[in-house]
Amino acid sequence: MSKFLCQRLQTLEAYTPGEQPRDKKYIKLNTNESPFPPSQGVISAITAGEIEDLRLYCDPECKALRQALAGLYQVKPENIYLANGSDDILNFAFMAYGQAGAAFADITYGFYSVFAQLNGIAADVIPLKEDFTLDVDGFCNQNKLVVIANPNAPTGLEIPLSDIERILKTNPNSVVLIDEAYVEFGGISCVELTRNYSNLLCVKTFSKSHSMAGARLGYAIASEALIADLETIKYSTNPYNINRLTQIAGTKAVEENDYYRENCKKIMANRDYTVSELEKLGFSVLPSKANFIFAKSDKIDGLSLYQKLKEKGVLIRHFEKPRIRDYNRITIGSRAEMEIFITKVTEILGEAL
Ligand SMILES: *Cc1c(COP(=O)(O)O)cnc(C)c1O
């Protein structure tokens, strides 16, 4: 740290992304990426001509992409905000709506507490219940920014839409942000509720379900007024936040949405396979509606399993936090990857005996 950093940021604890080691080729089940490539149309849309056009600024309004998403969700383009990954939207939401503080769960996406700190916002951390379900009553009548991931990460648990609606109704004077990074893997989206609740900010991403984590493309669906707020912040920071190639890729991906739906179905089938194999090995696995599962074994602790799998070339995610240190988060990859994962886990359990 330099002596120049302002005092407010000196204690900032930055988010730790999942490791991306380059020392050897790993089976990567640690950052919830898709095992499938982007659709064919996306790949062929990035032509040499488009690359030559990189000398020009991109469309700050992202008209084509917005129009495509508006068609997909049957909303107006004015109900859609596009961002350089959904993380940017989360940051903007804390910046814009966190004046009275922000409420989020103790076990959830690690970035929420970072954004609260970054923006100097008081965090009200509401512990999940013993079984890792959301304390819905705890989120009612907060009248501060409410931030919930549905399905939650890293647990994979789904929050029923009726509970979200109760939280929306009891927080009429504050924004409720629902982070749907994983909703395409079997969850139910709250997009429909944005028509009736002007305080609902639904945040989504192309990173997980749409095989584009590296393109950096996230979006929000909400009332026109909320979207206008986000636009104001964008035009006050970085108007060209979605680069040309990503706008093209995103627009094509929306046109080819059926391909991604099929991929999500495959992931869900691979998830069922992995859960049943892990259960045969004695693991307990939380019921997941995401492209990852959260699992623990009574034969080996979470950290050891993570380390031994890494030695064997398989990366999973371990969080050294008291409530969840027994668990690991395992991204669901291709069937072949999950078979190797199960083989390696079986080997490790055999060695541990
Ligand atoms: C991965 C993830 C995001 C961020 O996705 P990007 O669009 O890649 O920035 C947001 N929320 C949750 C819960 C995530 O797991």
H or E element, residue 298? none
Best probe residue, ligand 1, of 20, 90, 180, 205 (max atoms within 8 Å of C-beta): 205
Is the residue at 141 inside a domain? yes
CA distance 337 to 126: 36
Residues 201 and 284 occupy one common structural domain: no
Residues 6+ apart with CB under 8 A from 3: none
List, for residues 26-54, the tens digit of each pLDDT value: 999 999 999 999 999 999 999 999 999 99
Q: How far is the CA of 205 from the centre of ligand 1 (A)?
A: 7
- Gyration radius of the chain's alpha carbons: 21
Is residue 251's pLDDT more than 90? yes
Amino acid letter at 251?
T
Q: Strands, E, within 6-149: which ranges? A: 27-28, 80-83, 102-105, 123-126, 145-149
Residue 21's pLDDT band (boundaries 50, 70, 90)? confident
Residues 209 and 271 occupy one common structural domain: no
Residues 241 and 274 occupy one common structural domain: no
Is the residue at 1 inside a domain? no
Q: 256, 271, 287 — which closes off a domain? A: 256
Domain assignment of residue 185, given as a range: 43-256
> Mean pLDDT for the chain?
97
State mean pLDDT over 316-328: 96
Q: How far is the CA of 32 from the centre of ligand 1 (A)?
A: 9
State mean pLDDT over 112-129: 97
Q: How far is the CA of 67 from the centre of ligand 1 (A)?
A: 23
Q: 256, 282, 299 — which closes off a domain? A: 256
Residues 64 and 123 occupy one common structural domain: yes
Side by side, the strands of the sheet bearing 200-205 are 80-83, 218-222, 200-205, 176-179, 145-149, 102-105, 123-126
- Residues 204, 219: contact at Cβ < 8 Å? yes
Residues 218 and 267 occupy one common structural domain: no
Residues 249 and 264 occupy one common structural domain: no
Q: How far is the CA of 128 from the centre of ligand 1 (A)?
A: 20
Residues 140 and 130 occupy one common structural domain: yes
Is the residue at 108 inside a domain? yes
Domain CATH code at residue 73 = 3.40.640.10
Q: How far is the CA of 339 from the centre of ligand 1 (A)?
A: 26
Is residue 170's pLDDT more than 70? yes
Is the residue at 111 inside a domain? yes
Residues 339 and 203 occupy one common structural domain: no
Query: What separation in angstroms does the CA of 50 have from each of 67, 83, 344?
Result: 20, 20, 43
Residues 6+ apart with CB under 8 A from 348: 300, 305, 308, 309, 312
* Residues flanking ligand 1, CB < 6 Å: 32, 85-87, 109, 149, 153, 179, 181, 205, 207, 213, 218
pTM, full prediction: 0.97
Residues 103 and 192 occupy one common structural domain: yes
Residues 102 and 66 occupy one common structural domain: yes
Q: Which atom of ligand 1 is nearest to the CA of 152?
A: 13
Is the residue at 77 inside a domain? yes
- What is the pLDDT at residue 18? 83
- Taking residue 11's Cβ as centre, other Cβ atoms within 10 Å add up to 7
Best probe residue, ligand 1, of 206, 208, 211 (max atoms within 8 Å of C-beta): 208
- What is the pLDDT at residue 263? 98
Q: How far is the CA of 208 from the centre of ligand 1 (A)?
A: 8
Residues 112 and 252 occupy one common structural domain: yes
| Domain count for the chain | 2
Q: How far is the CA of 353 from the centre of ligand 1 (A)?
A: 38
Query: What separation in angstroms does the CA of 11 have from each of 1, 7, 14, 29, 151?
Result: 10, 8, 9, 31, 30
Q: How far is the CA of 149 from the centre of ligand 1 (A)?
A: 10
Residue 352's pLDDT band (boundaries 50, 70, 90)? low
Best probe residue, ligand 1, of 32, 82, 86 (max atoms within 8 Å of C-beta): 86
**Residue with the nearest Cα to atom 1 of ligand 1?**
181
Domain CATH code at residue 287 = 3.90.1150.10
**Residue with the nearest Cα to atom 5 of ligand 1?**
86
- What is the pLDDT at residue 353? 59
Is the residue at 86 inside a domain? yes
Is the residue at 105 inside a domain? yes
Q: 205, 238, 256 — which closes off a domain? A: 256
Is the residue at 181 inside a domain? yes
Q: Which atom of ligand 1 is nearest to the CA of 109?
A: 13
